[in-house]
Chains A and B, each alone.
Chain A
């Protein structure tokens, strides 16, 4: 066989070749929606089409991209610098159920009657498992959707419920098993489960270098493993760079920073060097040292999980669309997309 031609030079290989569904979860307050948005942008670059799905009715995606609330309709939210596109959809369980009924049973008017008498509300309320099947079902449908022989979306990013509920949310099969042992809903759950537990899916966990979020991440990884769901990356968000050198941090932790040297520096810079200002600066350094030590412990905990790990910086000015692009670039550089 002739040697294959050299492949064209590509930027950093993605760690997630073959993954079509990226599920993003994280403890409340870790910035999971922001990370989901940045990941969608990162996946779109290179001219890809990416759909980001929101399932908690919070309209967090609209806020993130600074647009009015999303209707139940796929909307283009952003373009990547080289022509890729990010679409978004806020999935509504009731609408999804009607859509599903219409698709499989051509209900039309009967569907509306069901809604009018409260059956749709009832179905999505009493059986949360059903609700999850409908929400994850939308991701399943989007992954498989084709138009003119071509995939509609290259990747789907699912802004999923928080880590505490993620396994139950994705484990639709078990959820539904007690309710429907046979029938179309069961079949649908089986197909979704097949996708969710396949190598086409990766569940990424967003965390901070703080005790509670890392603990929840560790717990969630164990639960996902148990449920045989594919754990993706750990994304450490809002990482701050310490402005002091390691030796200085060590001294600060012990309260042994050179106070006279700091005073001399203040005077050299034309700043006040009275006792209260020096106390304040040294105290802030001690607090930083404490935080850095804690972060070091948490970083070790994260690395012991043995998953690909990416770190995103804390953005001083808050998150706007520009910042999202910056985070997306960071994710690409580290191999997340």
Chain B
């Protein structure tokens, strides 16, 4: 029913971040909805409620990074000054995708081999621009940060991790990328490329063996013979050093399903963002990922909602027609615009909440300007819990 649109269960943000059982909060959603800002605001609020928090941001806007004292991309959490007078603390870091990948290689391969991988052009391409690398490395980093997570009062640097997710083409990429990268590295084609090194291998290789010569022939024709050699070296190196790549991806994925993780889907009251949010909510349910609720950023409000858009507009036109009170007419037009915008936003959000009545929603009011400092982040946290 139209009258019921827009009625949603309220997401109690404080209940989520104050609960000592909550260990990981993951902020996801489409690009441009304020995901990073939300992650930072939640982390700051939790820290000021006494928790020791580490926030992992992906590609934050310069001013936002500066507001948390992040000036260099060094892949290590740094304590944010000015937070923690009430016992909590905030650590913040920016993900360095390539460095995270390089570190995995250095950890898992013997020195000579590691250098060969790091120098391989395919590795360089994969580690700096593969569409899923950022997602995978965010997961990897989360896994690393979790090892430093305090459980049951153990002495560790933090007891809550808040994660921002990469600005994917689609919100779902974040969940799919690790598996994609894992299955890709385990893929049949990689096995075929490795075939010369594993003569007498598995049965399907025999089935394809007749075709393999043709395939590699075509590849060297298209890409040049040197490319194929590089590729084979790269794949062979990956195969030996990343035997457990798939398992790692699976472990990270399982980590997300574990109790103590809370997903927060971030959106703005706009059609595209809400459509992505809907996909994400469905997907989280499908994969049995724990959804805390939806954070809706940039929502407009008015302190005079009883004065409708139609009534304000009608009155403004009347005043203008009579040539009276131009200031009041202007203010009424402004108010009418805002009420129209609010109605449009309510309609869009109502569509979402009638499709997902069980999803709790917290709203943050649109801010006049972008966040520059901790006060700005605090204001967003406060707005979410009003």
Given A117-B192, A127-B122, does the pair A265, B344 have CB atoms closer than 8 Å?
no
Q: How far is the CB of A85 from chain B (nearest CB, A)?
A: 27
Q: How far is the CA of A126 from the CA of B368 in the complex (A)?
A: 43
Hey, which chain A residues are within 8 Å of B31, CB to CB? 28-29, 162
CB within 8 Å of A: which B315-338 residues: 315-316, 318-319, 322, 324-335, 337-338
Name the distance in Å between A66's Cβ and chain B's nearest Cβ: 12
Which A-chain residue is minimally distant from B180 (CB atoms)? A125
Residue-by-residue, is B177-208 near A (CB-CB < 8 Å gives 1, otherwise 0)?
00010001001111010000000000000001
Known contacts A181-B226, A280-B302; A287/B187 CB under 8 A: no
B3 within 8 A of A: no
B330 contacts which chain A residues (CB < 8 A)? 243-245, 248
Q: Is the CB of B332 within 8 A of A129?
A: no
> Do residues A280 and B303 form an inter-chain contact, with CB atoms below 8 A?
yes
Instruction: Give the total number of A-B pairs whose CB atoms are below 8 A apart.
Output: 205
Asked if B356 is at the interface (CB within 8 A of a chain A CB), the reply is no
Interface size of B in residues (CB-CB distance below 8 Å):
75
Question: A261 with B121: in contact, given A101-B218, A280-B302, A280-B304 (CB under 8 Å)?
Answer: no
* Minimum distance in angstroms from B323 CB to a CB of chain A: 11
Q: Could you tell me which residues of chain B, from 106 to 158, have a CB within 8 Å of some CB in chain A? A: 121-122, 124-126, 129-131
B333 touching A243, Cβ below 8 Å: yes
Please indicate the chain B residues that have their CB under 8 angstroms from the CB of A268 in the complex. Answer: 319, 322, 324-325, 328
Interface residue SS majority, chain B:
helix
How close is A161's CB to chain B, nearest CB, in angstroms? 8
A262 touches B331 (CB 8 A): yes
Task: Tell me the smallest distance from the CB of A237 to a CB of chain B, in Å.
Answer: 13
What 0/1 pattern do residues 185 to 215 of A give for CB contact below 8 A with B? 1100000000000000000000000111001
Please give, as numbers and ranges, the residues of chain B lying within 8 Å of A162 by CB-CB distance. 31, 167
A154 within 8 A of B: no
- Our pick among A101, A105, A283 for the contact of B303 (Cβ within 8 Å) is A283
Known: A125-B130, A290-B369. A101 touches B222 (CB 8 A): yes
> Which of A175, A184, A257, A265 is close to B319, meaning CB atoms less than 8 Å apart?
A265
Pairwise interchain contact A271-B304, C-beta atoms closer than 8 A: no
Please name all residues of chain B whose beta carbon is closer than 8 Å to the beta carbon of A245 when the two chains form the complex: 326, 330
A269 touches B304 (CB 8 A): no
CB distance from B376 to the nearest CB of A (A): 12
Q: Which residue of B lies closest to A288 (CB)?
A: B334
Bound complex: CA A281 to CA B315 (Å): 14
Q: Give the residue name and chain of the B residue nearest to A290 (CB).
A: B368
CB B218 to nearest CB in A, in angstroms, measures: 6
- Known contacts A179-B227, A184-B221, A243-B334; A287 and B368 CB within 8 A of each other: yes
Whether B331 pairs with A281 at a CB distance below 8 angstroms is yes
Smallest CB-CB separation from A271: which chain B residue?
Answer: B315
User: Is the Cβ of A105 less than 8 Å from the Cβ of B61?
Assistant: no
A332 to B219, CA, bound (A): 47
Chain B: minimal CB distance from A238 (Å)? 11
Interfacial chain B residues near A215, Cβ < 8 Å: 61-62
CA distance A287 to B208 in the complex (A): 68
Give min CB distance, A247 to chain B, whole Å: 10
Residues of A within 8 A of B244 (CB): none
> Is A258 engaged at the interface, CB distance under 8 Å to the other chain?
yes
Stretch of A12-20, A36-44, A107-115, A144-152 with 4 or more beta carbons under 8 angstroms from chain B:
A107-115
- What is the CA–CA distance of A244 and B330 in the complex, to the nearest angstrom? 5
B311 within 8 A of A: yes
The answer to whether A185 and B329 have CB atoms under 8 Å apart is no
The answer to whether A79 has its CB under 8 Å from any CB of chain B is: no
Our pick among B33, B226, B303, B331 for the contact of A244 (Cβ within 8 Å) is B331
Known contacts being A118-B187, A179-B121, A277-B307, is A126 close to B222, with CB within 8 Å? no
Chain A stretch 132-182: residues in CB contact (< 8 A) with chain B = 162, 164, 168, 175, 178-182
Complex CA gap A118/B337 in Å reads: 54
Judge whether B288 is part of the interface by a CB distance below 8 angstroms.
no
**A243: which B residues are within 8 A, CB to CB?**
330, 333-334, 337
**A185 adjacent to B130 (CB under 8 Å):** no
Given known A117-B208, A186-B224, A269-B318, contact A276–B304 (CB-CB < 8 A): yes
Instruction: Tell me the minimal C-beta distance from A278 to chain B in angstroms.
Output: 9
Q: Which residues of the other chain, A, contact B337 by a CB distance below 8 angstroms?
A: 240, 243, 316
Q: Is the CB of B184 within 8 A of A122?
A: yes
Kindly list chain B residues whose C-beta atoms are within 8 Å of the C-beta of A305: none
Given A29-B31, A248-B330, A280-B302: A182 touches B184 (CB 8 Å cut-off): no
Q: Contacts of A248 on B, CB cut-off 8 Å? A: 327, 330
- Residue pairs across A and B with Cβ atoms less than 8 A apart, 15 shown, are A28-B31, A110-B214, A113-B215, A117-B215, A119-B215, A122-B190, A125-B131, A126-B231, A182-B226, A215-B62, A270-B315, A271-B315, A276-B303, A287-B368, A294-B369
9 extra interface residue pairs, beta carbon distance < 8 Å, beyond A127-B122, A244-B327, A281-B304? A29-B31, A121-B189, A180-B223, A211-B369, A215-B61, A258-B327, A277-B307, A283-B303, A288-B334
- Report which B residues bind A (CB closer than 8 A): 30-33, 59, 61-63, 121-122, 124-126, 129-131, 167, 169-170, 180, 184, 187-190, 192, 208, 211, 214-215, 218-219, 221-224, 226-227, 230-231, 268, 270-271, 273, 302-304, 306-307, 311-312, 315-316, 318-319, 322, 324-335, 337-338, 340, 344, 368-370
